[in-house]
Structure 1
Amino acid sequence: MTDVKSLVSDFLTIDDALTLDGETTKALQLKHLNRLRTLDGHAKYFTRAQGCTFIDENGDKHLDMIGAVGVVTVGNNNDFVWSCLQKCFDSKQFMMGAISYHNVAAALAHNLALLSPQGKLTKVGTATGGAEAIEGMIKMVKLATRNKPEKTHLLATLNAFHGKTSGAVSLGGKDKWRAFQQPTLANIDHIEYGSVAALEAALATGKYKAFVVEPIQGEGGIIVPPEGYLKTARALCDRYDTLLVLDEIQCGAARTGKFWCCEHDDIVPDCIVFAKGLSGGLVPFGGYLCTETLYDAAYGSLETCYHHTATYQENTLSAAAALGALQFILEHDLCGMAQRKGDLMMKRLREVQQRYPDVI
């Protein structure tokens, strides 16, 4: 074997990378990656992370107050999730392949089906992140409704955020992220979030394949809809033969006191899109859960079963990280913890609000 340094003198090995000093790391990132975003975001150089703590290049500790925007639900570098990945490394599992059986991915899909609302979402599609999962959902919905020529459009909400790929920004309801992306995907309409009247007026046209909505709008401002909104949306979608798709990428995976946010309304959507909190914060992962009826309408024939494949789908490491995160969430009652700590935080915030009503 020829040493790589003799082939490319400036090549950086993994050992080199792990021991880079702060200045070199910053210089390389600013040269080769997104310079303006890094500088505008006042990036810091963190060398280690554990639980809810970051340690920077100077050894100073920082409290993680954002969790990688909802990703690190189980904490940074969770030991249990790492142990699940390590077991796959140690046993040299078959990691990925387009046409093969995947033991860890199959086990994860089984567990997700068990934990789906009322156990009724039994089919799983995987992806490497939330935006890709949204793209996969859009394709599935279009395939599933291909024999309904009257169904021509998708319906979403203003200020929604569904990711930053081209299809996802088309579905999203923010002009900021659709800028310079024209032409966006055609036949997507947006209505006011939380408005039952706007929803019914739109669905009554009969032209919508699906209504895609966040149970709580994330980037839109952490907007909780009026009580009963999702339950009404479910009833209206049934009445007008429209699929109900919930984007729980940010609000799912135990972040609201229930595993799935829609469980607060005790409804069963046709599809839930997930990501973030089920990655363990270690391996990119996302996907969707849907009913067997929806999945089979899209992929239940030899004509269409190959219409959505991806190199990394159902890969063992992503599935292992998700399976480990799922087990940790359940065994440590992170749903209950979110509920208790959320109630405490809101109580204390309201006390501050009473003292400073002109500010809050």
Structure 2
Amino acid sequence: MSLVKDSSYYIQLENTFGASNYEPLPVVLDKGERIYLYDVEGKRYFDFLSAYSAVNQGHCHPKLIQTLIEQSRKLTLTSRAFYNSQLGEYEEYITKLLGYQRILPMNTGVEAAETAVKLCRKWGYKVKGIPENQAKIVFASGNFWGRSIGAISASTDPLSKREFGPFVPGFEIIPFNDLEALKKSLQDKSVAGFMVEPIQGEAGVIVPSEGYLAECKRLCSKANVLLILDEVQTGLGRTGKLLAGDHESVKPDILVLGKALSGGILPVSAVLSSSEIMLTIRPGEHGSTYGGNPLACAVAKSALQVLVEEKMTENSNEMGEIFRKRMNLLKSKYEDIEDVRGKGLLNAIQFKEKNEKSVAKDVCKKLLNLGVLAKTTHDHTIRFAPPLVIRIEEMNEACDIIDQAVKFCLD
């Protein structure tokens, strides 16, 4: 007689044998399809996190799974010691799609961001002429691009940095959405680049003032400084444009992508730029065993193709408008809702702080019970980011559940 393995069994395994660097909601997921996730007991949930915007194309998209299976039967990894039959075609497709000359393929978002920082520094020394070891990269407060030593060196989150020092030198932090601070920073001739998220995801879906990115680009160009847009979370249709920078027609000097680049199938990331910038890095100066592997390249190309062919970006824009309209209607009923914000299908509800109690966490727990998966970002904000394939009837049903959860927690 076989023993039934329920959620508590799997949770206990993770708590016993895993590190304690995450605090997940108490649900054990076993299956995904489009916008839905299923736990080990078979309960269905709306996925309103999308693995932090990595599953834009929906869970287990049939075309991506087909590509994965076909390529995995043929060739998965060669290293970059040799050419492979998938990398070049992927590189051609993505550079032409996004309007860049070159791509440097990596695996995770933080690897791509680290690569962008290295590339920017190299350009600073070889092209701009900054004295050796004096190049600076400017970041905005509230930024998040991972948990590596480089990433936390640029962070303003005390929890990310506590007892992990010493940190990487040559990083400067200025306030987000503050053009005067950027102007002042760019007066330093040692500044090689400014890296910024078009919308700050982990900070709470913070949308800058209209025109901010365009002016950042103008100021950086004037100062001979590279603008790096970190679009790991905002890119590939998430905000209702193919790239979030497109809202202001901003093309950065260096573009960083990840997450949805593989449709949630594999870790795939990329740095895109011009030949002038990209070719400052020569053989032996940067690399990755898995970066550009044939399996990842085949899946990433397919992920981009379905994004375009199935008009997911356009759907993101339309469904985002519906979501914010519904949430603003909810906000009008409850004074404890401080803000509703976002673009496309990257949105957030922020609750007012109340006696150290996190209403946002209570709402997430109720949502879990009612069949919607969402997670707080900081204590008082819930991020809502479903897959871009969500349909209008599904959006309305999910919004009804969110209404119900908020009503339960605030009435």
TM-score (norm 1): 0.87
SS state at 2:38 partner:
strand
State yes or no: 1:181 paired with 2:169.
no
Which one-letter code corresponds to 1:327 in the other structure?
Q
Mapped contact 1:163–1:172 kept (Cα < 8 A): no
State yes or no: 1:198 paired with 2:181.
yes
For 1:30, the equivalent position in structure 2 comes to 15
Shift of 1:37: 4.5
SS state at 1:156 partner:
strand
SS state at 1:227 partner:
coil
> Counterparts of 1:25 and 1:219 in 2: how far apart (Å)?
28
For 2:60, the equivalent position in structure 1 comes to 77
Which one-letter code corresponds to 1:311 in the other structure?
T
State yes or no: 1:149 paired with 2:130.
yes
Shift of 1:27: 4.1
> Counterparts of 2:284 and 2:50 in 1: how far apart (Å)?
36
State yes or no: 1:341 paired with 2:319.
yes
Which one-letter code corresponds to 2:228 in the other structure?
V
Structure 1 residue runs of 5 or longer lacking an equivalent are 1-18
C-alpha deviations, 1:270-322, integer Å up to 9, x for none?
Answer: 111110111211111112111111112x22xxxx3211011111101111221
> Counterparts of 1:42 and 1:66 in 2: how far apart (Å)?
12
> Counterparts of 1:325 and 1:51 in 2: how far apart (Å)?
14
State yes or no: 1:246 paired with 2:229.
yes
> Counterparts of 1:239 and 1:224 in 2: how far apart (Å)?
24
> Counterparts of 2:292 and 2:222 in 1: how far apart (Å)?
35
Q: Superposition RMSD on alpha carbons, in Å? A: 1.9
Which one-letter code corresponds to 2:90 in the other structure?
L
SS state at 1:103 partner:
coil
Which one-letter code corresponds to 1:287 in the other structure?
A
For 1:10, the equivalent position in structure 2 comes to none
The structure 1 residue matched to 2:206, chosen from 223, 235, 239, is 223
SS state at 1:256 partner:
coil
> Counterparts of 1:278 and 1:340 in 2: how far apart (Å)?
22
Percent identity, aligned pairs only? Answer: 25
Q: Closer, same or farther in 2 for the Cα pair 1:318/1:126, shift >3 Å? A: same
SS state at 2:332 partner:
helix
For 1:262, the equivalent position in structure 2 comes to 245
> Counterparts of 1:45 and 1:198 in 2: how far apart (Å)?
45
For 1:98, the equivalent position in structure 2 comes to 80
For 1:140, the equivalent position in structure 2 comes to 119
C-alpha deviations, 1:10-35, integer Å up to 9, x for none?
Answer: xxxxxxxxx9775654443333212x
Question: Residues 1-360 of structure 1: matches in 2 within 5 Å?
Answer: 25-34=10-19, 36-37=20-21, 40-90=23-73, 92-93=74-75, 95-116=77-98, 119=99, 121-147=100-126, 148-150=129-131, 152-296=135-279, 298-299=280-281, 304-357=282-335, 359-360=337-338
TM-score (norm 2): 0.76
Mapped contact 2:125–2:135 kept (Cα < 8 A): no
C-alpha deviations, 1:4-60, integer Å up to 9, x for none?
Answer: xxxxxxxxxxxxxxx9775654443333212x345x423322221111222212121
SS state at 2:337 partner:
coil
> Counterparts of 2:94 and 2:174 in 1: how far apart (Å)?
31
Structure 2 residue runs of 5 or longer lacking an equivalent are 339-411
> Counterparts of 2:226 and 2:144 in 1: how far apart (Å)?
19
Which one-letter code corresponds to 1:178 in the other structure?
K
Mapped contact 2:268–2:296 kept (Cα < 8 A): yes
SS state at 1:55 partner:
strand
Which one-letter code corresponds to 2:328 in the other structure?
R
> Counterparts of 2:76 and 2:161 in 1: how far apart (Å)?
40
Mapped contact 1:156–1:173 kept (Cα < 8 A): no
Which one-letter code corresponds to 1:316 in the other structure?
P
Aligned residues: 331
> Counterparts of 2:9 and 2:333 in 1: how far apart (Å)?
48
Mapped contact 1:234–1:244 kept (Cα < 8 A): yes
> Counterparts of 1:160 and 1:97 in 2: how far apart (Å)?
32
> Counterparts of 2:239 and 2:337 in 1: how far apart (Å)?
26
Q: Closer, same or farther in 2 for the Cα pair 1:172/1:96, shift >3 Å? A: farther
> Counterparts of 2:193 and 2:35 in 1: how far apart (Å)?
38
Moved more, 178-187 or 149-158: 149-158
Moved more, 75-84 or 99-108: 99-108
